Structure 1
Amino acid sequence: MTEYEIIADPKEYGIEKLVDGLNGSPIEFPPEERTQWAQEVGAFATRLNELSDKATSLQTWLAGDAAIKSTPASLKTLKIQLFKINDALDTSISMVNKLECDIVPCITEKN
């Protein structure tokens, strides 16, 4: 079974103040916390699936033939909100990619 190590540097995530005073020695990730975080990540996945469904519905509506009327201010508001959603997704994807790089197989020394 492969062992993994989380090597995330709090400074790279801008949260070093949250971990001040914690010792730097490796510890085991407690099973109850792993279970809790696995459930949280499962909830993230569910919410992302819901977002995907909503985005697909919006795409279908926008690509459809039905007339769409709007005030210029409402149309601008829609566009700004879509840009905000896109920016949040970009930030989230970048963060996940970085975290994936910070979870690595342990290298054990062999004598």
Structure 2
Amino acid sequence: MKRREQEATLIFMASPLHLDSTTQQAMDELVSAGMFESREQVLSEGVRLVRRREGFDAGVDAEPLDPSTIAAIERGIEDMEQGRSRPAKDVFDDLRRRYAPT
């Protein structure tokens, strides 16, 4: 671990974390139920979920695209740039007419 990382870790460990009693109880219940081994794991999972929800980790867990998908995306972008596209509203209207229940 680099010195700067060590310092940051020590500062974090020296800073107490104050949680309301409802949050503490919820964390304890998750640990007691065996879903997590510690409050720290509960907190880490919570932070991970917030980061994902807010888009901080967008694409981190995504599977790489296969070459044919990349080629199709590139063709679509080129079509749009060359004016070979239709407004989405028109496309959706056509689809609704085509697949409307009868």
What TM-score does the superposition give when structure 1 sets the normalisation length?
Answer: 0.20
More RCO (CA 8 Å, sep 6+): 1
Q: Compare the two structures and name the one with the higher strand fraction.
A: 1
- Of the two, which has the highest radius of gyration? 2
TM-score, normalised with respect to structure 2: 0.22
